[in-house]
Structure 1
Amino acid sequence: VGRAKNALHRRTYAIAKGVLSFSRFTKRSLVEEYGVPDASVHVVWPSVDTTLWRPAPEKKPRDGVVRLLFVGGDLGRKGGKLLLRWARETRRKGWHLDLVTSTPFEAPPGVRVHVGMQPNSPELIGLAQAADLFVLPTMADMSSWAIAEAKAAGLAVVSTPAGGVGELVRDGVDGHIVPVGDYAALANTLDALVQRPDTLEAMGLEARRMAEAHMDLDTTCSRMLAFIRQVTGV
């Protein structure tokens, strides 16, 4: 069955004039596993409306509390349980975690759970604009629109290199990458960052710059259309 599926995929890709991929990770798979010519694959990262998802300094409480944000419907796969373990075990003070997910549960002190928030809702955007750090220690993923939204809102990001997610964060520049499933690395990174609000602010500025350059929806759509015209000759 696996060989038959591989052959079908190869035949499909072979007749395509071009392929759009949401990550370099996927592009490598197309080129190395399915024989798609490198020049035939155009990478476009997850993109958002950067006029909607934007920083709003006036919404930050400025009360000395570092606010963390997690957004992930599947709490386990997205690494939310590791983040909750940190919230229970850390000895650091002066932080608050907003956790957006699909199922309600009893949260530890310092954590507020939000269920039923809609994509691009004012409530969700407001949480991002009030936050200082976005944390998505995902265990398995291909890419992440939530990271694109967070960076557009001017947040530093902590995530993992799962799938193509690691491409969206420049380690040490606009966030940090920790190994998949490595609780100790995640905990040490968060413990350090919640004590460095100035570092988070500087990383947030870099995150917004990257979002404007590479994750703006209008720009991405224009690049996609240009690629389609190029390969089709239309």
Structure 2
Amino acid sequence: MQTPPTVDASAAPPLIAHIIHRLDIGGLENGLVNLINRMPPERYRHAIVCMKDYTDFSRRIQRDDVTLHALHKREGNDLAIHGRLWRLLRQLRPAIVHTRNMATLEMQTTAALAGVRCRVHGEHGWDIGDLDGSRAKNRWLRRLFRPFVSQYIVLSQHQRDYLAKRIGVPATRINHICNGVDTQRFHPVPRNQATALPPGFAPPGTLVIGTVMRMQPVKAPGILVDSFLSLLDQEPAARERLRLVMIGDGPLLPELRERIVTAGAMDLAWLPGARDDIPDLLRALDLFVLPSLAEGICNTILEAMASGLPVVATRVGGNPDLVVEGETGQLIAASSAEALTAALRQYLREPSLIRAQGNGARTRAEQEFSLDTMVKRYLSVYDRLLSPPSP
């Protein structure tokens, strides 16, 4: 845990304490780091409070005035963590506490008891065990802690509707702010300039289908493998023209590799595990696919769009907020290898769609999902909370 720097509270910008489960590789964490790095330092200071701990991912924070704090929560019901958080908040004295997702929602009460008047809660996605928010216990908990939350921030229209209709949150307390993407870091280049794939893996004329995900059940990577293998069987020229790239680690990775090996297609697929050169890898793809069962707002979809790739994604969560059917990609039913196979077959047979929809995806990313737009919207919520009440 870092010791908070000594500052003159009367002169320093207000402090925001961001409470998250753990600072590690992930979409929520990436969005938080982007927000902090892009926010003007004269507007707000930041502290990141991790219920568990933080990893080397914290090195992506580009500001030297951000403090990191690990509460080392034990597995299960660790009641003592409330005391540790209360003492830390009394020491930090933030103007705003911002919790994120169900894992930290109950800390809204601890922040209130510590005297933090302005409290924000972000809904960034669904739990693996509750893919649509229908679990009775989670609905009850959200309603229980609802009075302690000053303002909610949701990433998708789906989550906005859920809070309003299922949890009973007034519309005046819900703010819809989509994640932003760094369109300078993620950008397209001509395919023949992309060198991140293994030498000889994708010769000219091949269609490289790719994804970046955590290889776990909620992301449904097996659906993509099923569709790829089906196309190899159904399309006579597919073995010469198709390649599959699946980037990411996770518990399902060994099983996915084994299935491809068993099908005799490992020379047509590349599953290297986790990588840190994602921008270069995306630029080496032709088509991005995300067959997930549930999503909030998926950062990798935004990164693929900014890289000039058409996106095939399931019609779940916030995906329809990002992908415009027929203009930047396709939306398909979840859990359907048949629907995904049909979509991939269309791109294989009509390669002109790739360029047209890829250009549309890049334009949409630049116009609708810039980091500057995201930061302005967060600043608006924070500023409004700290503004004196109207007469």
Q: Which residue in the other structure is 2:344 paired with?
A: 190
Distance 2:146 2:302 in 1: 28
Q: CA deviation at 1:174?
A: 0.4
Residue 150 (structure 1) aligned to one of 281, 286, 304: 304
Matched, 1:220 2:378: no
1:112 aligns with 2:270: yes
In 1, Cα distance between equivalents of 2:138 and 2:296: 20
Cα distance in structure 1, aligned partners of 2:137 and 2:143:
10
Residue 86 (1) aligns with residue 244 (2): no
Equivalents in 2 of 1:114, 1:134: separation in Å? Answer: 17
Q: How far, CA to CA, are the matches of 1:145 and 1:27 in structure 2?
A: 18
List gaps (5 residues or longer) in structure 2.
1-134, 195-201
Q: Quote the residue 1:27 is aligned against.
A: 160
- Report the residue type matching 2:193 in the other structure: K
> Structure 1 counterpart of 2:169, which letter?
V
- Residue 188 of structure 1 and its aligned partner are, at CA, apart by 0.8
Q: Which residue of 2 aligns with 1:171?
A: 325
Deviations 1:181-218 (A, max 9, x none): 11211111101112222111110111111111222222
**Alignment counterpart, residue 210 of structure 2, candidates 59, 62, 69:** 69
Question: Post-superposition shift, 1:45?
Answer: 1.8
The Cα of 1:25 is off from its aligned counterpart by 0.9
Counterpart check, 1:204 vs 2:338: no
CA distance 1:22–1:64, shift in 2 (3 Å): same
Q: CA deviation at 1:4?
A: 7.6
Corresponding position: 1:96 with 2:254 = no
The share of aligned pairs that are identical, in percent, is 25
2-side partners of 1:198 and 1:217: how far apart? 30
SS of aligned partner of 1:207: helix
Would you say 1:59 and 2:193 are equivalent positions?
Answer: yes
The alignment partner of 1:77 has SS state of helix
The whole-number CA distance in structure 2 between the counterparts of 1:111 and 1:167 is 30
User: Could you tell me how far 1:16 is from its partner in structure 2?
Assistant: 3.1
With normalisation by structure 1, the TM-score equals: 0.88
TM-score (norm 2): 0.54
How has the CA–CA distance of structure 1 residues 17 and 132 changed in structure 2, closer, same or farther, with 3 Å as cutoff? same
Q: Which has the larger radius of gyration?
A: 2
Q: Is the 8 A contact 2:289 2:313 kept in 1?
A: yes
Inter-CA distance 198–115: structure 2 relative to 1 (3 Å threshold): same
1:137 — aligned with what? 291
Q: Name the Cα RMSD after superposition.
A: 2.3
| Residues 10/199 of structure 1: CA separation in 2 closer, same or farther (3 Å cut) | same
Correspondence for 1:50: 183
After TM superposition, the runs of 4+ consecutive aligned structure 1 residues lying more than 4 A away are 2-8
> Who is 2:279 aligned against?
125
- Mapped partners of 1:215, 1:55: distance in 2: 16
1:8–1:78 Cα change, 3 Å: closer
Whole-angstrom distance in 2 between the partners of 1:96 and 1:220: 35
The question of whether the paired residues in 2 share the 8 Å contact of 1:161 and 1:167 is answered with no
Determine helix, strand or coil for the equivalent of 1:67. Answer: strand
- Give the 3 Å change call, closer, same or farther, for CA 65–49 of structure 1 in structure 2: same
Of structures 1 and 2, the one scoring higher in RCO (CA 8 A, sep 6+) is 1
